Amino acid sequence: MIVHDPPRCPLPGIALRGLVDEDLPDWYAYLSDPAVIEHTSWDLHGPESLAALLRRYLSQDPAAPLRFAIIDERFGRLLGTIGLHTISLEHRSAELAYDLARPYWGRGIATAVCGAVTAWSYATLGLQRLQATVLETNLRSERVLFKCGFAFEGLLRAYRQVRGAPGNFKMYARLASDPAGVT
């Protein structure tokens, strides 16, 4: 889904915008870092895997997945992405997903953009529920979701394949009526 007015990040120097073809090399470079994907289900088979995803994000279909580039405004470079998939307009729900290059970890960026996209999805898209699944070993992502007001809902055993093996994921969710968290 193409978005013309993306959410605004509350952190100075960090912005959100639509992904473009020029982001693919930086996106692939940091997703090639084993530390970045260790606690995720990313399973890339070359840059063309991301190019195919980008085509889906650029769809005009209102129920298509959407993904924003997280940009360091000083350098204009991609440092991460965040977006929604499994969007159900009928049920007013979607799943949140994000990733961040390792040099930007621990700076509050993931929490800030998670909070911004969550609030935006309720106000702009009219969603009532956002959920996020986190590989059970991804403690950093769990902290991000907790800070953004997401509640733990349960363990999903063998929920998704993680580079060829079944992985257990924790389900987190936040309703539009829930408190915003501590972002």
Domain holding 83, by residue range, is 14-131
Helix locations, the chain, DSSP H: 24-31, 34-37, 47-57, 109-123, 139-147
pLDDT band at 1 (very low <50, low <70, confident <90, very high): low
Confidence of residue 3 (pLDDT cuts 50, 70, 90): confident
Specify if 68 maps to a domain: yes
In this prediction, residue 41 has a pLDDT band, given cuts at 50, 70 and 90, of confident
SS3 175: strand
127 within domain boundaries: yes
pTM: 0.91
How much of the chain, in percent, has pLDDT values that exceed 90?
72
Tokens of residue 151, six digits? 């509640």
What CATH number is associated with residue 66? 3.40.630.30
105-114 pLDDT, tens per residue?
A: 999 999 999 9
What is the Cα gyration radius of the chain?
Answer: 15
Q: How many CB atoms lie within 10 A of CB 35?
A: 9
**Inter-residue contact 40 to 138 (CB < 8 Å):** yes
Tokens of 138: 């991804």
For residue 20, being part of any structural domain is answered with: yes
Total structural domains within the chain: 1
Question: Which tens digits make up the pLDDT trace of 113-129?
Answer: 999 999 999 999 999 99
